[in-house]
Amino acid sequence: MATISQEHLRKKNPGILLKTPMLIVVFLILFGCSNPEMELGEQVFKGTCKACHAGGLNGAPIYGNKRMWAKRLPQGIPVLVEHASSGYGLMPAKGGNTNLTEQEITAAVKFMVSKVAE
């Protein structure tokens, strides 16, 4: 069956074209942005971690790269957080941003992990 053209929809239900974007917005508010920890994590990631974890500098596991995270994930979140906080191998403690709190590091680690754990 062919997809319904917008023209057809407009005739049948003139309001639907307006309502659909509204529904999407409501959906995003309800589900997309409903996790404050992920939001904080993304913020910390962009502010501090991304400098190394986007390009894989010094072997930093690249954001979203399942292959690079595979060996590290089984350690579990608490160990990853501890490594990110205190430093680990070539990873500097807190990515060099010593002002970051335990809560912020945890959020950033969870944010990075969420992109490979799906």
* Contact residues: ligand HEC, CB under 6 A: 44, 48-49, 51-53, 57-61, 72, 75, 80, 83-84, 88-92, 94-96, 100, 105, 108-109
d(CA 55, CA 69): 14
Pick the closer one to ligand HEC by CB: 32 or 59. 59
Residue nearest to ligand HEC (CB): 89
Q: Which does 75 bind (CB under 5 to 8 A by kind): ligand HEC, other proteins, none?
A: ligand HEC
37 C-beta neighbours (distance < 10 Å), count: 14
Pick the closer one to ligand HEC by CB: 33 or 57. 57
Looking up tokens 């639907």 gives 16
72-103 burial, b at 16+ Cβ within 10 Å, e below that, comes to eeeeeeeebbbbbbeeeeebeebbeeeebeee
Examine residue 56 and tell whether it contacts other proteins (CB under 8 A): yes
Q: Which two tokens stand for residue 65?
A: 């790269």
What does the per-residue mask of binding to other proteins show for 15-54, with x meaning CB under 8 A? -------------------------------x-x-xxxxx
